[in-house]
């Protein structure tokens, strides 16, 4: 039987601009086999990232280990609300650590929905970030297992920090199981919602570079400190190198 030849898609040249699955072509009435297998592999990697346990040995950092109210991964996935609050032992640990001073900044590392993102990106991000934090008093870095973004608000409040940044594994996509997010909140306290935060997303080797992510983070930190607020009213006015690169590619493709 004669094999069917894959037919190229007219949009295939756009692949150079994005990791999205576009312009895949077809083989008969289906997509080519190698694209199907690639999709199945990406789906498996995304599932693995969700269930991967946070391994603090992979971080070149000394952190205060904390835990949310979600006792295990199963509960964490079913009860997002429990991932937003610390358990009693963690609250006690912070209070007994005799940290009776205030800080400018608290950094909180959270596994979120992808510990893989934390393992692969946090070390590089923090290493670059620390070079730009002169003049900031830093609280002890904390790590939280089975945590959501809002758990950082409680940590920052207990540590008497003016601002908190949460580095968290984002929900895995089918092209990005290792995406790290940075969430910044001024005057953190329990009960805040998403409009009070600023986010820098897709921090990873194949996404937003560590240098660019730190540039945005430091800008937001300085502006938040100057204005005494964060969230929807605080705009990121940095110029993205990534946008300039896309525009250059568009010119080359004559789109």
Residue pLDDT, tens place only, 173-187: 888 899 999 999 999
**pTM of the model as a whole:** 0.85
Q: Of the ranges 57-71, 81-95, 232-246, which one carries the lowest mean pLDDT score?
A: 232-246
Please state the rounded mean pLDDT for residues 116-136. Answer: 96
pLDDT at 242: 52
pLDDT at 1: 40
Percentage with pLDDT > 90 across the chain? 69
pLDDT at 147: 98
pLDDT higher for 38 or 211? 211
Distance CA 200, CA 254 (A): 30
Structural domains for the chain: 12-51 (no CATH), 56-236 (3.40.50.11240)
Long-range contacts (CB closer than 8 Å, 24 or more residues apart) made by 234-238: 234/198, 236/198, 236/200
Distance CA 140, CA 103 (A): 9
pLDDT at 23: 78
pLDDT at 127 over 60: yes
pLDDT at 97: 86
pLDDT at 247 over 90: no
pLDDT at 245 over 70: no
pLDDT at 36: 86
Tell me which H or E stretch contains 144: strand 142-145
pLDDT at 54: 93
pLDDT at 3 over 50: no
**Full strand arrangement of the beta sheet holding 197-203:** 64-67, 142-145, 103-110, 161-169, 180-186, 197-203
CB 184 within 8 A of CB 148: no
Sign, Cα dihedral of 146, 152, 154, 158: positive
């Amino acid at each position: 039987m004669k094999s069917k030849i894959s037919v190229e898609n007219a949009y295939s040249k756009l692949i150079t601009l994005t990791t999205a699955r576009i312009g895949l072509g077809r083989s008969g009435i289906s997509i080519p086999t190698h694209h199907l297998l690639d999709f199945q592999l990406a789906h498996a990697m995304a599932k693995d990232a969700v269930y991967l346990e946070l391994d603090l040995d992979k971080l070149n950092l000394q952190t205060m280990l904390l835990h949310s109210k979600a006792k295990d991964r199963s509960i964490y996935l079913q009860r997002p609300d429990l991932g937003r609050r610390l358990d009693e032992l963690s609250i006690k640990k912070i209070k007994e650590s005799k940290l009776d001073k205030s800080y400018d900044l608290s950094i909180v590392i959270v596994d979120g929905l992808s510990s893989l993102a934390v393992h692969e990106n946090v070390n590089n991000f923090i290493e670059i970030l620390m070079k730009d934090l002169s003049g900031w008093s830093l609280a002890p870095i904390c790590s939280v297992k089975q945590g959501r973004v809002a758990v950082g608000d409680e940590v920052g409040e207990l540590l008497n920090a003016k601002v908190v940044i949460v580095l968290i594994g984002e929900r895995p996509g089918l092209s990005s199981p290792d995406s790290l997010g940075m969430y910044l909140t001024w005057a953190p306290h329990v009960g805040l919602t998403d409009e009070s935060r600023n986010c820098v997303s897709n921090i990873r080797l194949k996404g937003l570079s560590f240098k660019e992510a730190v540039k945005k983070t430091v800008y937001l930190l300085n502006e938040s400190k100057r204005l005494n607020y964060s969230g929807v009213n605080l705009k990121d006015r940095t110029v993205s190198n990534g946008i300039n690169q896309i525009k250059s590619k568009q010119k080359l493709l004559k789109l």
